[in-house]
Chain A
C-alpha cells in the first residue's frame, strides 16, 4: 500500500515536471516553427514577386500563403513578418494572418490582421507599445503602403465590429483606407483583444525591377 501511494506521488511530481516543460515549449519552442515557416513564406513571396515583376496578375493569394510584409519601425528594425492569408489556427502558427474577405492592403475598407501576442514567435507581443502616429508599413509586390496608428482599444473577443469595413459601424459604407491589428490582451491570456486602428497616409510605388 505504501509503495502504491509513493508511486502515485512520484507520478504526480513527474506530471508536474512534464507540464512545466510544456509551458517552456509553448513560450519558446513554438517560435522555432514560426521562424522556419516565416523563412519559407518570405522566400516564396520573394520568388513570386520577382517572377511577376513588370507583369500584371489577377491571381488571388491562396489561404495559408504569404500576402504582404509588415514592418513597424516603433517595434525595432527586426520587426518584419510575412502576413499570411487566413486566420485559422494553422495560419496564425506561421505568422500574422489577414482576415479573408476584409480589404487588401491599400484598398478602401479595413485591412484586418491578427497575430499571436505570446507563443509562435509572438509577432504582436509589443503591440501595446504603439502610440497614435506610429507608422505601420505594409509592403506588397507593387506598392508600399504606410499606415498611421490612429487609436488603440481593448475589446471583448466577441466584438467582431472592429473588423468591419468601418470599424465599430458594421453597416456603414467605407470611404477610408484603414488597417486594424488584433491580438490577445492581456499577455498570456485570451480574455480580451487589443485592437490597433490605423489609416493610410501614403502609397509609394515600388520600382519595377529590370526583367
Chain B
C-alpha cells in the first residue's frame, strides 16, 4: 500500500520524501487536535471517584 502510494507521489526522491513527511505531520496534527480529543472522553482509563459513579454523584443532602 505504502509502496504504491510512494510510486504515485510526484517529483523526485527529495520531493516525495517532503510530501510524505508533510502528510505524516498533517495526519498527526489532525489526530492530536481533533480525533483524540473527540475519542478520549468516550474512553475511561482513570477516574478517581469511589462508588463507580462517573456521572451520578452522591445525592445532595437536605
Contacts and interface: CB of A to CB of B under 8 A. Distances in A.
Contacts of A25: 31-32, 36, 40
Interface stretch (A39-47, A48-56, A89-97): A89-97
Contacts of A115: 48
B50 interface: yes
B48 A160 contact: no
A79 interface: no
Q: Is the interface of A mostly helix, strand, loop or mixed?
A: mixed
Interface stretch (A67-75, A98-106, A142-150): A98-106
B interface majority secondary structure: loop
Given A10-B1, A158-B52, A87 B57 contact: yes
Contacts of A189: 46
Interface size class of A (residues with CB under 8 A): 35 or more
B7 interface: no
3 nearest interchain CB pairs?
A183-B48, A160-B51, A101-B60
A67 to B, nearest CB: 13
Contact of B57 (A88, A119, A190): A88
Contacts of A99: 49, 57-58
Interface of A: 6-7, 10-11, 18, 21-22, 25-26, 29-30, 33, 86-90, 92-93, 97, 99-102, 114-119, 124, 155, 157-160, 162-163, 182-184, 188-190, 193, 195
